[in-house]
Structure 1
């Protein structure tokens, strides 16, 4: 063998050895990252190689699996029953766009790659196991009732069992059918582009893929007055909701010349009690009360209800409901009527009524009860949630009584249900530049099958419901919590307490 061939052979051998060393190093140092990379096509092929597990509502699956329309190496794609109805609960699973909400949180369980589903041998071989299932707390009757009641309106609604924390309904409209975007074909791409197209006009940007029930916080308006009333009673400022307050009408925001008037100018709001102020939604009472209490005490009470929580998981991560941490006295006054920079999701305002209905204790809201393997064995349970005290039982009883007056004799009359004790609070929230946007119509409420002042933790069947209508066909002057949101809350309460 001549010298040239030996040198070429030696160089080739060194290159092969270097390549082997490089591959070995890559596997040791970056193997896991490469295996888990979103760009690793093998993961997607494995994920869609078999039918998925399902998400259950009321004991029935609302998801399924279908053969992929586009063929290729992805054998199955996600399918949905009543997809638009349950999209705010399930989210979507797409071969191209990933997975959201419950589909995303429990993706490993639903596609069979979760290690808890595998046998000891399967853990060694990496073999895909039979997929598991996710059981939700959603009541199909409550969910459908809320969806149909909202109809063509842009808005959302949340219903919670105050005693267990189970979310019975999470409705967002307009909605979409996740089946239309679950594949990778041209039709799915066209459907996605249509769903995400924006006109540049906020009034017509309906954002059907946005989960308004959990993921959008907007000004809560006068529904926030319940938080202020709770802070005042907990602070000992008033002994009961029937004690007169020191509240001039109209009220001038402190440090300014801005006069805050009431919507109903004939309402008896001067020095009104908390019961009367909630009944007539007196701005002067709650703006002055917020100013007197101060921003710090208000913030502490709001945070007990769940405001400013950046990790509100149900288990879907909810958007943060905000109570400002830095305000002057005039801004504090505006925050007392749910304006300035106060924002809340429908989930958050349902939690306010939930805590009041449950005797002042807030049970962590959740929409999943159990996660199971293919044999029905429980992998994870949410049936014993944590709770914390938001206010005393006495304060909660006082607020239930006052909220009952709002429905029986005040601005929430459209929520009355025969034979059911119903309490609520309306809200009409201004927003936009110079309040140019169509007001949001709010209603937060509770209903219980056993009425009376002694209701609370040990009373009959209960439900808390919050509804927001962002946009409807109603004229601006006709937008109100009682007119638009309360009838929807009533129907959902009836469905839950049937």
Structure 2
């Protein structure tokens, strides 16, 4: 070392620079891990911190009629807050479940970001939350459900297998969504062995209580599909006068086949559309479908929502289908709701709602709005131009399934069914009710117990427009084949739901 100490100073500077470089490298790496790769580490299944934090605070609630139908309970465990449900089986097709073990379903899944507090829209400073790794309190989801209508549908189905969907025709708001048999989603909350046993039992059950029959099960719609065929016949000009003979033989020989189609009632030979609709003449509607042709039948069915694979409410809805590749014999059967024609109860509620709403189809929606934990609105999925809402697949514009003039005629035909046809069990004093019954065959050689269908709409006598449209399907596999019918089994359930929505004065 020289006397002036310059070499030592140089070494110190080099060491200090090297330490500064190491510190900088550490800072860069920390930034890379905490910012650039944060999502990768957060989503790594081995990282339990995210899951622990997720259940470290109460989950937001799902509301029906201004009251929460969900809650959160402090378990004292590592995954601290467990989901609770009020009237769990009643609302299970809407809420779904939120399980620490098995994840989420239905609204609990579609609105998970809001309910868990992770949706950036819940915070006025979302970027700060990302940097600070903070979590907002869980927000709330306000549904469109009518509590009285939901209860009426659930009570009406009782112990039978089936489903009910009810809509407000002018807006598409879902007023009831019921599937039976149901289950208590609270059984899947927590992490103990009872949860695993409940999951195994529910999934192994022959009656499939976790299947949402209202939106995930498709059925042959049977004669309720004749509303669609009638709309196609009127709009295409195949039928110009609902009271004129239709030149329909009875029995009707399926084109290109020796098979003959018959009816359950008399008077269907060359019957008018009015008579055929009122008494559900298969021969008339099979012939009309062939005369309309596959192109116009497909187009009309699509206008009502068939073959739409993008529908969400906001959770996914199974597509209802009208086969696009059929010969004339298959088209004839498809036109009476058989062959490959399949529909969810929600889809058939949309068909009834379109008739009630001047031919216009409003996209169904289950969420009225989402809010912060203190009630400030976050989104309003149903508002014109509003955001799609939690987990939304996009709120599309309404479509015109039929001309307004055709809708007027179909309203009249559906009213006749309830006034003096197969749907008299749906009549409500003080209201105009339109309906269409259906008995859908299924199984090998149609050996299964038929499904009972009824679709309808109702308008109070002092109201300007119909307030509700309903679709009911009853599987009822325990019933004798001759004891099940749309007008007999399903119509009373539809009537109870419509009465609940109309809430008419009992002294009227």
Same fold (TM over 0.5): yes
Deviations 1:129-172 (A, max 9, x none): 11110000000000001100100000000111111211100010
- Displacement after TM superposition at 1:376 (Å): 1.6
Cα distance in 1 for partners of 2:34, 2:139 equals 30
Name the structure 2 match of 1:303: 302
Name the structure 2 match of 1:87: 92
Q: Secondary structure, in 3 states, of the residue corresponding to 2:457?
A: strand
Name the structure 2 match of 1:154: 161
Name the structure 1 match of 2:3: none
Native 8 Å contact 1:175 1:208 kept in 2:
yes
Name the structure 1 match of 2:148: 141
Name the structure 2 match of 1:214: 215
Name the structure 1 match of 2:7: none
Q: Select 1:35's aligned residue among 39, 42, 45.
A: 42
Q: Secondary structure, in 3 states, of the residue corresponding to 2:150?
A: helix
Cα distance in 1 for partners of 2:327, 2:168 equals 37
Change (3 A) 1:38 1:276: farther
Name the structure 2 match of 1:490: 495
Deviations 1:249-276 (A, max 9, x none): 1100000000000022xx2111111111
Cα distance in 1 for partners of 2:336, 2:109 equals 37
Q: Secondary structure, in 3 states, of the residue corresponding to 2:414?
A: helix
- Displacement after TM superposition at 1:477 (Å): 1.2
Deviations 1:73-110 (A, max 9, x none): 11101000000000011111000000011100111111
Name the structure 2 match of 1:74: 79
Deviations 1:299-322 (A, max 9, x none): 110000000001111112111000
Cα distance in 1 for partners of 2:383, 2:123 equals 26
Native 8 Å contact 2:167 2:468 kept in 1:
yes
Cα-Cα RMSD = 2.0
Q: Verify: 1:425 aligned to 2:436, yes or no.
A: yes
Q: Secondary structure, in 3 states, of the residue corresponding to 1:443?
A: strand
Name the structure 2 match of 1:188: 195
Q: How does 1:437-448 map to 2 (within 5 A)?
A: 437-448=448-459
Q: Verify: 1:269 aligned to 2:268, yes or no.
A: yes
Q: Secondary structure, in 3 states, of the residue corresponding to 2:244?
A: coil
- Displacement after TM superposition at 1:26 (Å): 7.3
Q: Verify: 1:164 aligned to 2:171, yes or no.
A: yes
Name the structure 1 match of 2:287: 288
Cα distance in 2 for partners of 1:351, 1:172 equals 17
Q: Which moved more, 1:385-394 or 1:405-414?
A: 385-394
- Displacement after TM superposition at 1:39 (Å): 4.5
Native 8 Å contact 2:457 2:466 kept in 1:
no
Name the structure 2 match of 1:5: none
Q: Verify: 1:459 aligned to 2:464, yes or no.
A: yes
Change (3 A) 1:105 1:259: same
Name the structure 2 match of 1:257: 258
Q: Secondary structure, in 3 states, of the residue corresponding to 1:297?
A: helix
Cα distance in 1 for partners of 2:237, 2:311 equals 29
Name the structure 2 match of 1:323: 322
User: TM-score under structure 2 normalisation?
Assistant: 0.88
- Displacement after TM superposition at 1:241 (Å): 2.2
Q: Verify: 1:178 aligned to 2:179, yes or no.
A: no
- Displacement after TM superposition at 1:436 (Å): 2.1
Change (3 A) 1:445 1:461: closer
Deviations 1:199-223 (A, max 9, x none): xxxxxx2110111111111110110
Q: Verify: 1:434 aligned to 2:445, yes or no.
A: yes
Name the structure 1 match of 2:351: 352
Cα distance in 1 for partners of 2:301, 2:425 equals 27
Q: Secondary structure, in 3 states, of the residue corresponding to 1:158?
A: strand
Cα distance in 2 for partners of 1:412, 1:472 equals 22
Q: Secondary structure, in 3 states, of the residue corresponding to 1:302?
A: helix
Q: Verify: 1:57 aligned to 2:64, yes or no.
A: yes
Q: Secondary structure, in 3 states, of the residue corresponding to 2:214?
A: helix
User: TM-score under structure 1 normalisation?
Assistant: 0.90
Cα distance in 2 for partners of 1:480, 1:280 equals 13
Cα distance in 2 for partners of 1:46, 1:234 equals 58
Unmatched segments (≥5 aa) in structure 1:
1-15, 199-204, 452-457
Native 8 Å contact 2:238 2:288 kept in 1:
no
- Displacement after TM superposition at 1:472 (Å): 5.0
- Displacement after TM superposition at 1:27 (Å): 7.0
Native 8 Å contact 2:415 2:435 kept in 1:
yes
Change (3 A) 1:122 1:91: same
- Displacement after TM superposition at 1:479 (Å): 1.2
Name the structure 2 match of 1:374: 373
Cα distance in 1 for partners of 2:286, 2:50 equals 56
Cα distance in 1 for partners of 2:167, 2:377 equals 23
